[in-house]
A and B are shown apart, each in its own frame.
Chain A
Amino acid sequence: MRRRRFQTSGPALECVLRDLNQNSDWVEVGRRPLFSPQLKGSFKVASTVVGATPEHHTGGEDPNRRDFIHIAATVAAVGAAGGLAWPFIDQMNPAADTLALASVEFDLSKVETGQQVVIKWRGKPLFIRHRSGKEIASAIKDNHADLRDPQTDEERHKAGKAEWLILIGTCTHLGCVPTFGGGDYGGWFCPCHGSHYDTSGRIRKGPAPKNLAVPEYTFLSDSKVKVG
């Protein structure tokens, strides 16, 4: 009556069967019970059934043995920990109310030519610059200069709205706020590490790698923009 031990899903199935049916009649003659019936006092087993499974333990009977069940249980534990980790990480991402406040509307009519207004958007400064003709001309002139982050001036403002330049006012180097009117290119200059931007906000000199970023925005009317 000796049988090979079940190596794969057999024991799991037996175990489930046993759970479903607390009575002993699941133990078929000739099948080895997963666990000894006498371990549990209340577990009634017909002696014939037990007597019919006189299997000897072989050398591979180390309880540490990594058989299917143990591996599956371990994988499930790791999976559970991994699954729970995501909510705990995601909670640090912007909350729904933060995302909802991510757009601002601004009335441009009060910004005079040659002036710049700084407003706060997503916690950062936003430069809204009403450029003079001179500034625009200087920006266009440099479209094909040796740029670190090549972009034409047209790509940095809305079509037909060359006088309005809207930029995120943080230096692309390490996030300081550049000031207008400094530097060698008539645009912005970052006081922290000396990055020079031109009148289109393009990086021209210094450690910053990129042009000042242009946010997503739309003109709601001639004098009103919505940023974000």
Chain B
Amino acid sequence: MSGHSNYEPKSGFEKWLDVRLPIIRLGYDSLVDFPTPKNLNYWYTFGGILAVCLGIQIVTGIILAMHYVAHVDMAFASVEHIMRDVNYGWLVRYMHSNGASMFFLAVYVHMFRGLYYGSYKAPREVLWLLGCVIYMLMIITAFMGYVLPWGQMSFHGAVVITNLIGAIPVIGPAITTWLWGGFAVDDPTLNRFFSLHYLMPFMIAGVVGLHIWALHVPGNNNPAGVDVKSKEDTVPFHPYYTVKDGFAISVFLLMYAAFVFFNPNALGDAVNYVPANPLVTPAHIVPEWYLLPFYAILRAVPDKLMGVIFMGGAIAMLFLLPWLDTSKVRSMRYRPTAKLYFFIFVIVTMILGYCGGQLPDNKIIPGLTTFQVAASDLNSVVWLSRLATAYYFAYFLIILPVLGLTETPLPQPESISEPVLSHSANAPVGAAASPEKRG
């Protein structure tokens, strides 16, 4: 999408089209000839995996919309009709519901990879911000999609989340009513959620286009975190990364298929197979697993408004990250201290996820009662989430800004090719003489 193009139209038609709409050139430059650092590892395949996830969600979603009825009296039955009567409807529906989980799994790996290798640093800030926008759109889309089957968890989840907006002072209640189209989550709410749930994936696809554009201007970051210096450092995207991404996608699909075909309801909540009943709330309201960390942050804060602010803040941190991290070194390979804090951060987000799935008063160590702090036992999920929330924010607001100024990074390689060369210098003599070296 930028700079020099090596595309040479071959056939007459290609030449004719290239002058009028250079779309083949665009595809060639971005997917075939695009110079890509040759040291990308498997963590870098998740971009391709995510593109596949988005594609699957859009295709299966369009199919589901052909059979789904967005009406409170019929939504639940229409989903069951898809699973029981529509030809291969069970396949499409389970692909879509598990696909959402797979999409988030992949996006989290993709995001942690970006965090680890400093992919948000100059000159890739816009690339990162667009990624954050995609993530936010994904959350909203997933939330609205979860409401559509109109089961107990759909309904009461929608009630809880829309009520969060009521925390906004003065205008909150008015916004909530506007969002509901009534005085509770009801038919108008379901209809608008369906409409927006259909719309948003196309918005995501649009931002993904920008995301890829913003990737192709500065080019890929890489595990070494150093800039591409010469042609030696890169390989063309095709066939090198098409085949590597293809392999990773295939392995990812294996895991996806294992869920779809052999445990399709493992990631969902059983209660959502009970039709929505506004008069009875399920014993334990939880969001889907991919939103549990945010739910834990929400509940860690005793005040309603502050809880919402912290939850929003957790995502806002990601937007601010490029300017919070003061280190000039991109990859944490060369930042041993930061690497340690990063792994703690990964574990902390998982702890938050665990806390989000528990009742706040549950004990961490069963049977042990310690002392009460701020009206809660210190040995309780709520306190664990508070500590984890504190680390989450400290990581962005204190650790990354301070560490960049105080730490001593390891020496970075001169170029992407350098560590490879020095590595092979240590290899056995016979290996150095092996044919592959000449390639």
Q: Which A residues contact B (CB, under 8 angstroms)?
A: 32, 35-39, 41, 45, 47-48, 50-51, 53-57, 61, 63-64, 70, 73, 77, 87-88, 90-93, 95-98
Contact = CB atoms under 8 A, between A and B. Distances in A.
B239 A88 contact: no
Contacts of A93: 87
B63 A91 contact: yes
B436 A88 contact: no
Contacts of B255: none
Interface residues of B, number: 32
Given A37-B431, A48-B430, A63-B240, A91 B81 contact: no
Nearest to B238: A64
Nearest to B235: A63
Interface string B421-439: 0011001111111111111
A95 B87 contact: yes
Given A38-B424, A48-B430, A92-B66, A53 B89 contact: no
A96 B85 contact: yes
B113 to A, nearest CB: 20
B59 A88 contact: yes
B148 interface: no
Given A38-B432, A54-B433, A91-B88, 13 more contacts: A37-B434, A47-B430, A55-B435, A57-B438, A63-B239, A77-B246, A87-B87, A87-B91, A87-B92, A88-B88, A90-B87, A91-B66, A91-B92
Contacts of A38: 423-424, 427-428, 431-432, 434, 436
Contacts of B240: 63
Interface in B379-393: none
B258 interface: no
B239 A64 contact: yes
A36 B434 contact: yes
A49 B71 CA distance: 69
Interface of B: 59, 63, 66-67, 81, 84-89, 91-92, 239-240, 243, 246, 423-424, 427-439
Contacts of B427: 38
30 contacts: A32-B435, A36-B435, A38-B431, A38-B434, A39-B436, A47-B429, A50-B434, A51-B430, A51-B433, A53-B434, A53-B435, A54-B433, A56-B435, A56-B438, A57-B438, A57-B439, A61-B439, A63-B240, A73-B243, A77-B246, A88-B88, A90-B87, A90-B88, A91-B66, A93-B87, A95-B81, A95-B85, A96-B84, A96-B85, A96-B86
A117 B164 CA distance: 58
Query: Which 7 A-B pairs rank lowest in CB-CB distance, beginning with the nearest?
Result: A51-B430, A36-B436, A87-B88, A47-B428, A95-B85, A96-B85, A47-B430
A95 B91 CA distance: 14
B430 A88 contact: no
Given A93-B87, A95-B87, A88 B435 contact: no
A47 B246 CA distance: 32
A51 B81 CA distance: 65
A50 B428 contact: yes
A159 B433 CA distance: 92
A57 B436 CA distance: 8
A53 B66 CA distance: 59
Q: Taking each of B85, B243, B429, B430, which has the highest tally of chain A beta carbons within 10 Å of its own beta carbon? A: B430
Contacts of B84: 96
Contacts of B239: 63-64, 70
B86 A95 contact: yes
Nearest to A94: B87
A209 to B, nearest CB: 31
Contacts of A87: 87-88, 91-92
